[in-house]
Structure 1
């Protein structure tokens, strides 16, 4: 479904991504793990076309989005949903208008049809009856759920999540992780989740890819990463303190 081929990203003299290759299968949940600053969110933004790589290709269902004109890319985005780290809701719009925004922009649905679509998606995320609430009246967990409802309202084939549990307490974090898993089972979408939340990753991942300083060190089932011999992966998966010795050992 998604094929990332020899992707590099450079900002000025900083090399953010280094010859990255990753295949994401249709219908799976791929979790991209890594410490802050490893390039995870940059890669996610390139998958939806918000950033173009310095070099390399990103194929979505066989089509290279890095070479698409903006009009064609906008059409492609209709089949993709994005859940942003801090929800990115419009403060001046209530819940209904936030969720309906994409429907109004990209479809010719009637108002009753839009109302029905919003209600259905709110039910899926467990927030029935919240249509008239403003973002300022929502908790962090509720905002995440509304962000997910907005991402799925156009019934995309791919959903991208940028740190979906960031800023939440452990209970709400688990709730959001289980909701992501539930969406996967109900909607059969392809999901890419960027996170450094290991508990969340374990709950939702079919496979994991570990990104370290712009390169993937390992890609595989969660068990493969936990059993990895690479000291940098072992350090992350076990929450060990940073150490120059570990980094040096990993480079050997």
Structure 2
């Protein structure tokens, strides 16, 4: 479903990604782990076409999105949903209007159809009856759920999550992780989850890819990363010392 092939990316003199390759199968949940600045969010933005690689290509559902113009990308994005790190809700819009945003811009739905879809998706994320609320009145966990409802409004084949549990307490983080798992089970979506939350990663992942200094140091199943003999991998999963990237590979913040 997703194939990242020999992708490199720099911002000025800072190289963020160095000849990385990764494939994600249909219906699979791939978790990308790594410290801040390791290139995780940069890679995610390339998958949805918000950034273009300096070299290499990104294939999504058999299409090379690195060669698409903006109109072609927008047509491809109909099949993709993204949950942003800080939810990225429109403060001036109600929950209903936030969830309906993609429906209005990428579809041809009547108001009755929009209402039905909004209620359905809010029910899936456990937010029945919240349509009229404004983002300012929502907790952090509720905002994440609304963001997820918006991401799945058009029944995408792919959902991308950028630090979905960031800023949440352990209970809310567990709730969001359970929702990610449920989306895979009920909608059979292909998911890419960028996170540094190990508990969430172990729970939702079919496979985990560990990104360090712009390159993958490990790709495999959750139980395999625990037993990895790579000292850098062990340092990260055991929380020993700091793995924040240096100035030569900085760039993204998650």
Coarse TM-score class (shorter-chain normalised): over 0.9
**1:1-252 aligned within 5 A:** 1-242=1-242
Deviation string for 1:93-135 (max 9, x for gaps)? 0000000011011111100000000000000000000000000
**Aligned-partner Cα distance in 2 for 1:190–1:183:** 9
Find the aligned partners of 2:70 and 2:108 in 1 and give their Cα distance. 21
TM-score by length of 2: 0.95
Separation in 2, partners of 1:108, 1:182? 28
- Could you tell me how far apart the structure 1 residues matched to 2:242 and 2:199 are? 20
Q: Which runs of 5+ in 1 are unaligned?
A: 244-252
Quote how far apart the aligned CAs of 1:242 are: 3.3
**Partner in structure 2 of residue 247 of structure 1:** none
* 1:149-208 deviation line (CA, Å, top 9, x unaligned): 000001000000000000000010001001110111000000000000000001100000
Q: CA-to-partner distance for each residue in 1:50-100, whole Å, 9 max, x for gaps?
A: 000011000011111000111111100000000000000000000000000
What is the RMSD of the two structures over their aligned residues, measured on CA atoms?
0.7
Q: How far apart, CA to CA, are the structure 1 residues paired with 2:90 and 2:61?
A: 31
Which residue of structure 1 lines up, in the alignment, with residue 251 of structure 2?
none
- SS of equivalent to 1:56: strand
**Stretches (4+) displaced over 3 A:** none
Instruction: Provide the rounded CA distance (Å) in 2 between the counterparts of 1:63 and 1:31.
Output: 22
CA distance in 1, matches of 2:98, 2:23: 32
Helix, strand or coil: the match of 1:8? strand
Separation (CA, whole Å) in 2 of partners of 1:18 and 1:27: 27
SS in 1 for 2:91: coil
Give distance in 1, aligned partners of 2:125 and 2:71.
31
Separation of aligned partners in 2, 1:124 and 1:242:
38
CA distance in 1, matches of 2:43, 2:106: 25
| Structure 1: distance between partners of 2:95 and 2:165 | 20
3-state SS in 2 of match to 1:167: coil
Within 2, Cα distance between the matches of 1:141 and 1:124?
15
